[in-house]
Structure 1
């Protein structure tokens, strides 16, 4: 069983169909740092009600809390999902296909009768991306926003992956402007393409994402590798913080490193984020994107 330390968000969010409790059990005991039990895309219409009941039972008996992706609030099942799950012992809820702040507030209001549950809002349309900051600041229950890229690509009628770069940066900026964690990167749908997943995840980290949604356990190691600072990056961060302590002893909070880089509080914050990780391997031959 793998869980992210309390001082950082998960690197991997593994989606599992609510109709497969056996897979949920394996996921909760596996390497993914967060598990999302899916009531939406992975569940056919005729199985929605039964899947919701299954999630409630799983939540009561699971060895650790998990997240649930509910159905679209404007569809026939979303409101009932929220009503049923409001009191469940969950880690959080993922709200799909959100486009407006009002939808988010409606979801938060529907959960108000139960214990507070963090809302992770998925933006999957052109309108949702345009309203990213309004959605991110719609309610104190919003704990994160991210993209659903498959639906967004269809919404934009885009065929090139790079066509989504503006939307990606928009959501990263909106999340950070709202004081939320860096968004979780959308899924890489080709399960067999490990090298493509790794490269895409490294690029996602460089663009400001942190962590990634995955649809199969075999994708977890590549995502963890991409979102874990390498030993050299770790060492440089430690050296920078040591230099900061020396500068502070001389009455300064900003300084130049030996190789001429200017260090201010923002750089220090980034170094501390790197040190939240232990390097995966003793080798520093592998460069990571900062």
Structure 2
């Protein structure tokens, strides 16, 4: 059964030892950051270190958040690269340019401004290489002057709708910056799940089990999904269950995704000095 990624762990590209530890921290995807996590005087080193890391196959899928076209050229085509995260995307043309530089690599644009939110669908549908869409909430808050998480509700829903309209998987939530507040993280994940997000990016391994537990379906949802799948003999759905619920193709697809998620083991927290 296909594994649906729920956890995406960031690691700074200029700290190779941290990246190596992140690969065994239990995340579904590790994101090596060449953008915000790396100071200007460390960019060249981070790029070279990341290219060296990606020169071999890796045990965990690795994405790279690039900052420049030079970053893209340095890692494109390397065997350990599974995807590129494109920060601060505002127009489809930016996605098309990276797709031309890195053919065959999955792209994940990050929407981080009011203009990016307005263009969310055209960005999501910009190129067949786009595999997912995400919201960069720290920069978006600054751009909008938002001081409370409730001010992001519309932008969050906009990105969820844009991803779905473009035929992409549901987006993962943006990072939760309060590392020690795991209760707050769980509550925030519950809100994100209610809005249609699936999984979340993390900045510390201690956040990974919290995110995964928050996004795994509860028993009642699993039972309902199993009833739908069992009662649907074809991929088209289009039937009524005994309790009066109507099942169509979209409902059937969601039920199958629920069952796929339900079969994921929850990893224990792992030490990460």
Output the TM-score relative to the length of structure 2: 0.90
User: Residue in 2 aligned with 1:12?
Assistant: 7
3-state SS, counterpart of residue 133 of structure 2:
strand
Q: 1:111, 1:239 → 2: CA distance?
A: 43
Q: Which digits, 9 at most, give the CA deviation of each residue in 1:159-211, with x for residues without a partner? A: 12111111111111111001111111101100111111111111111111111
User: Residue in 1 aligned with 2:35?
Assistant: 40
Superposition deviation, residue 140 in structure 1? 1.2
Q: 2:143, 2:180 → 1: CA distance?
A: 26
User: Residue in 2 aligned with 1:181?
Assistant: 169
Q: 2:176, 2:36 → 1: CA distance?
A: 16
Query: Which protein is bigger by CA-based radius of gyration?
Result: 1
3-state SS, counterpart of residue 144 of structure 1:
coil
Q: 1:141, 1:240 → 2: CA distance?
A: 32
Contact 2:28/2:60 (CA < 8 Å) preserved in 1? Answer: no
Contact 1:16/1:24 (CA < 8 Å) preserved in 2? Answer: yes
Contact 2:113/2:139 (CA < 8 Å) preserved in 1? Answer: yes
User: Residue in 1 aligned with 2:66?
Assistant: 70
3-state SS, counterpart of residue 15 of structure 1:
strand
User: Residue in 1 aligned with 2:232?
Assistant: 244
Q: 1:253 aligns with which of 209, 229, 238?
A: 238
Superposition deviation, residue 117 in structure 1? 0.6
Q: 2:4, 2:109 → 1: CA distance?
A: 16
Q: 1:19, 1:207 → 2: CA distance?
A: 35
Root mean square deviation, CA, Å: 1.7
3-state SS, counterpart of residue 277 of structure 1:
helix
Superposition deviation, residue 25 in structure 1? 1.3
User: Residue in 2 aligned with 1:158?
Assistant: 146
Q: 2:247 aligns with which of 238, 241, 263?
A: 263
User: Residue in 2 aligned with 1:104?
Assistant: 95
Q: 2:70 aligns with which of 80, 85, 94?
A: 80
Identify which of structures 1 and 2 has the higher relative contact order when contacts are C-alpha pairs closer than 8 Å and 6+ apart: 2
In structure 2, list runs of 5 or more residues that go unmatched: 266-273
* 1:198 equivalenced with 2:186 (yes/no): yes
Count of aligned positions: 261
Q: Which digits, 9 at most, give the CA deviation of each residue in 1:210-251, with x for residues without a partner? A: 110000000001100011112232122112322334xx7xxx
In structure 1, list runs of 5 or more residues that go unmatched: 72-77, 282-290
Q: Which digits, 9 at most, give the CA deviation of each residue in 1:82-103, with x for residues without a partner? A: 1111121201000000100111
Q: 1:124, 1:41 → 2: CA distance?
A: 13
Q: 1:253, 1:159 → 2: CA distance?
A: 45
Output the TM-score relative to the length of structure 1: 0.85
